[in-house]
């Protein structure tokens, strides 16, 4: 059995920058049709125009993953425009770095809502379509923060490990060959993820680490493409991709 990215229909959340935007360009460049969702629609407009100017197929819509109906609209757009949905890349995520003792409850809730609930909303929207079609693939951006636990990332890592657990349980529930699940765990990647950390000192430290060690989002996009292009009877369950110099 052979497969490729070409002609697959892929929806991507968090597609306005970083890994999401790089994945959109990588997959569209390989012949996939992409449906892009994010809150920053001005960036999505530019990205769609770039893909179309290069001969690719792309659609976009505003998506806030904390809103279940936004994910339902995204999946519906893919099916309406391209006839099906082969892959949902759940990439939207937020990071807030602080000791638990700071009691930043609003930041905790934001991470839970986007990083965990947002993934669940995507699954709820896509899974019925995958079941109806007889095939589908969930690719979810997790993090090495859930693999190596460090101070000040307790809740962030907790949301990522919750998603990892969720995907493994879903995989075990879905061994009939219809659904594939892939957890992509990036390490330091040059994105905007840490730009919204509230504490200036922690933000500067994280940004310096990203700048010094971070790999390009393009590298993660290629890893996602690798998982997607496998034959239908092959599942890349977990893939860790990080800088060779990351400790």
Give the catalytic positions in this structure: 156
SS3 content of the chain, % helix, strand, coil (to 5): 50, 15, 35
Inter-residue contact 48 to 70 (CB < 8 Å): no
Residue 42: phi and psi, rounded to 5, are -65, -40
Count of alpha carbons within 13 angstroms of residue 98, beta-carbon side: 16
Place of tokens 């049709």: 33
Ordered alpha helix ranges (H), 11-134: 18-29, 41-53, 68-82, 105-111, 118-133
Cα→Cα distances 11→34, 125, 242, Å: 6, 11, 24
* Residue of 93, 136, 91, 108 whose CA lies nearest to 235: 136
């Amino acid at each position: 059995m052979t497969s490729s990215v070409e002609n697959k229909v892929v929806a991507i959340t968090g597609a306005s920058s970083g890994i999401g935007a790089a994945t959109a360009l990588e997959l569209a460049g390989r012949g996939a049709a992409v449906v892009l969702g994010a809150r920053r629609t001005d960036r999505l407009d530019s990205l769609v125009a770039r893909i179309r100017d290069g001969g690719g197929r792309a659609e976009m819509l505003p998506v806030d993953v904390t809103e279940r109906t936004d994910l339902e609209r995204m999946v519906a757009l893919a099916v309406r425009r391209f006839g099906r949905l082969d892959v949902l890349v759940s990439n939207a995520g937020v990071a807030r770095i602080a000791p638990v003792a700071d009691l930043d409850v609003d930041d905790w809730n934001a991470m839970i809502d986007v990083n965990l609930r947002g993934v669940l909303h995507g699954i709820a929207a896509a899974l019925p379509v995958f079941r109806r079609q007889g095939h589908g693939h969930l690719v979810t951006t997790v993090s090495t923060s859930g693999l190596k636990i460090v101070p000040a990332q307790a809740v962030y890592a907790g949301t990522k490990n919750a998603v990892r657990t969720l995907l493994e349980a879903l995989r075990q529930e879905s061994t009939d060959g219809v659904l594939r699940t892939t957890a992509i765990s990036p390490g330091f990647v040059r994105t905007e993820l840490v730009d919204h950390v509230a504490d200036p000192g922690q933000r500067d430290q994280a940004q310096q680490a990203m700048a010094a060690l971070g790999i390009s989002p393009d590298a993660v996009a290629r890893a996602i493409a690798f998982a997607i292009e496998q034959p239908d009877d092959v599942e890349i369950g977990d893939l860790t991709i990080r800088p060779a110099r990351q400790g």
